[in-house]
Amino acid sequence: MNWISIWAIYKFEMSRTFRTLAQSVVSPVISTVLYFVVFGSAIGSRIESVEGIGYGAFIVPGLIMLTLLQQAVSNASFGIYFPKFIGTIYELLTAPMSFLEIVTGYVGAAATKAVMIALIILVTASFFVELQIAHPVWMVAFLLLTAVSFSLLGFIIGIWARNFEQLQLVPLLMITPLVFLGGAFYSSAMLPPFWAGVTRLNPVLYLISGFRWSFYDIADVPVGISLLAVGVFLSACLGIVWWIFRTGWRIRQ
Amino acid sequence: MSPIVSVENLSKSYASGTVALADVSLDIDTGEILALLGPNGAGKTTLISIICGLVMPTSGRVTVGGHDNITEYRAARGLIGLVPQEISIEVFETVMNSVRFTRGLFGKRPDDAYLEQVLRSLSLWDKRDARNMELSGGMKRRVLIAKALSHSPRVLFLDEPTAGVDVNLRRDMWQLMRRLREDGVTIILTTHYIEEAEEMADRIGVIDKGRLMLVEGKDRLMKQLGRKQLRMELQEPLTAVPESVAGRGLSLADQGRVLVYDYDTQAERTGITRLIADLAQAGISVRDLDSRQSSLEDVFLSLVEDAGS
């Protein structure tokens, strides 16, 4: 592995993050605060508790996942799409780097930023509700695995997108609905049996369930299944990235 | 001396059926400046893009420094710097960071002292902390060159480096190219400007419709071009070149109304004085004189037109 080149991309991407630090950090923090005000206080005051956990605290893992997924996908997709759009991708393609190294640089930076923001939200949440983290190591593991997997997905979207609309389409049409329907704000046990079954088809349910388990030791699905789901998703993304690398799809004529 | 870049039977056709390159073979020697001339869409950029690894060839092979540019792409690409035709640059970054980034991409350890030298040579040092978007077009082009030089390449590709560039910058760039060549850097530039090829190149290649029509040392080419033509319009048309002036490269044109004299401007004597005296003696009176020198442009156009007909 050519670590100097990977570091160059990583540093360059991270400096982009720090250049826009205010908008990178402020907007997720504000939206999280809004979720707490609306769901935690206004609605939550009527729900009281889910499976013995206060509603405000219950939604924290889901909220973090929502932001983590959005940030990972949008950072990575924008990170690789922008050089394509302004033409500077010629440098990446003529550099003595393997595609794996290029992916590592971009995905590493996107995942880092997503995890940073997830942690900021965790801290913000701690001002509103009493948090407990039952399995901190697993919490970090879920955070990292999910960030890397969805950054890979973002990278694929960035390579695939031919314009800015397509770039926005997937996060808007896929990520947000999947997170909302994946039990971010409720336990699937609260749904009628049919819909509880349908939500089992949603991959994000397994992520949120596993992540919530690492906080409160409660889960919609067994944690092993959650881990397996992350593993399958990660492998699928790696497979697609490998295929892009083999064929030069949409990057090399 | 073995060539630093070797192109063997390179072809590229796209799925649409467009043939961008057809069986191009070319050896580029270490330390030379090669100018690739050709009209728009001739295949110059495609050729460069394949050598640099941006475009995959349909068939053929490229080696750079003896390394195959696909199977040993790391070694091959590490030797190459590319200045693209379009000004593609990270608009929000500073000049210095852009140059550091490229150096890093090419796997070289940070060396700000060297980068300072590069930026100074391009009159960019004062602008090192400016954002790229604050720079003028000419300055941006300099940044692209600085980026291409940031990892000390042995082969530098300049794709239309002076297109849309003012006279001063063009002179600066020519000077820079000469300096680089003195350091042993091989330079391949594509250009529309014949003047640029004449000024800079050791050898000139002409590409049209994906085919390499000619590669020739500039001096040899200029020698061919050093020929001049004197056209003498006669008072009375002739049916044949008069005996007394025969054997001097004279010919008749325009149904005998014009006597054409081909001569070498670089020869010690052109023979014009003698010819005119001899013509007067033979009683041939001349109504008008017109002399023409063929330029690289003429040769270029005739090559391109011949291929088209």
User: DSSP readout, A26-87?
Assistant: HHHHHHHHHHIIIIIIIIHHHH-EETTEEHHHHTHHHHHHHHHHHHHHHHHHHHHHHHHHHS
Give B47's pLDDT tier (boundaries 50, 70, 90): very high
| CATH code of residue B254 | 3.30.70.1560
Question: What is the distance in angstroms between the Cα of B241 and the nearest Cα belonging to chain A?
Answer: 60
Q: What's the CATH number where B92 sits?
A: 3.40.50.300
Confidence at residue B174, expressed as pLDDT on a 0 to 100 scale: 87
Tokens of A12: 């360059």
| pLDDT digits 0-9 by tens, B184-239 | 999 999 987 777 888 889 999 989 889 998 898 988 877 766 678 889 999 989 88
Same domain, B275 and B173: no
Q: How far is CA B59 from the centre of its chain?
A: 25
For residues B305 and B30, the model is more confident at: B30
Residue B169 and residue B38 share a domain: yes
Count the Cβ atoms, other than its own, within 10 Å of residue A49: 12
**Tens-place pLDDT, residues A115-129:** 999 999 999 888 888
CA distances from B228 to B19, B195, B198, B305 (A): 37, 19, 18, 21
pLDDT band at B295 (very low <50, low <70, confident <90, very high): low
Predicted pLDDT at B244: 83
Q: How many residues does chain B have?
A: 309
Note the pLDDT of residue A220.
83
φ/ψ bin of A87: left (φ > 0), alpha (ψ from -120 to 50), beta (otherwise): left
Q: Residue B4 has what DSSP assignment?
A: S
- pLDDT given at position B225: 64
Residue B281 confidence (pLDDT) above 80: yes
In this complex, the residue of A12, A88, A96 whose CB is nearest that of residue B88 is A88
Nearest CA in chain A to B80: A94
Structural domain includes residue B168: yes
Let me know if residue B155 belongs to a domain: yes
Q: Which of B54, B75, B102 sits opposite A93 (nearest CB)?
A: B54
Same domain? B85 vs B182:
yes
Tens-digit pLDDT profile for residues A61-97? 998 998 999 999 999 999 999 999 999 999 999 999 9
pLDDT of residue B181: 93
In the prediction, which pLDDT does B204 show?
92
Segment A208-212 mean pLDDT: 92
Q: What are the chain A neighbours of B91 within 8 Å (beta carbons)?
A: 86
CB A183 within 8 A of CB A220: yes
List the 122-161 stretch of A: residues with Cβ below 8 A of B.
none
Q: Are residues B38 and B144 in the same domain?
A: yes
Domain boundary among B223, B255, B270: B223
Q: Within an 8 Å CB–CB cutoff, is residue A192 touching chain B?
A: no
Predicted pLDDT at B197: 84
Q: Is residue B309 part of a domain?
A: no
pLDDT tens per residue across span B55-68? 999 999 999 999 99
* Separation between Cα atoms, residue A79 and residue A11, nearest integer Å: 12
Same domain (yes/no): B210, B241: no
- pLDDT band for B150, please (50, 70, 90 cuts): very high
User: pLDDT exceeding 70 applies to what percent of chain B?
Assistant: 95
Tell me, what's the pLDDT at A124?
87
Average pLDDT over residues A165-181: 85
**At residue B309, does pLDDT exceed 60?**
no
- Looking at the structure of chain B, the number of domains it has is 2
Strand B258-264 to B286-293 pairing: unpaired
Are residues B266 and B171 part of one domain? no
Do B107 and A97 lie within an 8 Å CB cutoff? Answer: yes
Query: Do A93 and B53 meet the contact criterion of CB atoms below 8 Å apart?
Result: yes
Domain-embedded: residue B298:
no
Residue B276: closest CA among B291, B266, B256? B291
Residue B308: pLDDT over 70: no
Who wins on pLDDT, B247 or A204? Answer: A204
Among B223, B251, B272, the domain-final residue is B223
Q: Kindly report the nearest CA distance between residue A194 and chain B, in angstroms.
A: 49
Interchain contact, B105 vs A86, CB within 8 Å: no
Whether residues B128 and B14 fall in one domain: yes
pLDDT at A19: 83
Examine the domain organization and report whether B218 and B236 are in the same domain: no
Q: What is the pLDDT of residue B96?
A: 97
What is the distance between the alpha carbons of residues B148 and B153, in angstroms, rounded to a whole number? 8
d(CA A117, CA A110): 11
Same domain membership, residue B203 and residue B234: no
pLDDT of A215:
93
Q: Find the domain containing B253 and state its range.
A: 227-293
Are B56 and A91 an interchain contact pair (Cβ–Cβ within 8 Å)? no
Choose among B188, B192, B160: nearest CA to B301: B192
Mean pLDDT (chain B) is 89
- For residues A94-117, give the mean pLDDT: 94
More confident residue, B132 or A198: B132
Q: Is residue B35 part of a domain?
A: yes
How many whole angstroms separate alpha carbon B161 and alpha carbon B199?
14
Query: Mean per-residue pLDDT for A189-213?
Result: 87
In a domain, B58, yes or no: yes
Distance from CA of B151 to the nearest CA of A (A): 10
Rounded CA-CA distance A4/B106 in Å is 8
pLDDT over 70 percentage in chain A:
100
* pLDDT given for residue B226 in this prediction: 64
Can you give the pLDDT at residue B307? 64
User: Are B216 and B91 part of one and the same domain?
Assistant: yes
Residue B255 counted as domain residue: yes
Confidence (pLDDT) at A182: 86
Q: Residue A201: which pLDDT band, with cuts at 50, 70 and 90?
A: confident
Which is more confident, B147 or A39? B147
What pLDDT, on the 0 to 100 scale, is given for residue A7? Answer: 97
Q: What is the pTM of this model?
A: 0.84
DSSP code of residue B232: E
**Residue range A160-172: mean pLDDT, rounded:** 87
In a domain, B164, yes or no: yes
Inform me whether the pLDDT recorded for B1 exceeds 70: no
B242 plus B103 within the same structural domain: no
Residue B258, phi then psi, degrees to nearest 5 = -125, 130
- Minimum-distance CB partner of B109 among A4, A12, A96: A4
B23 shares its domain with B170: yes
ipTM greater than 0.85, yes or no? yes
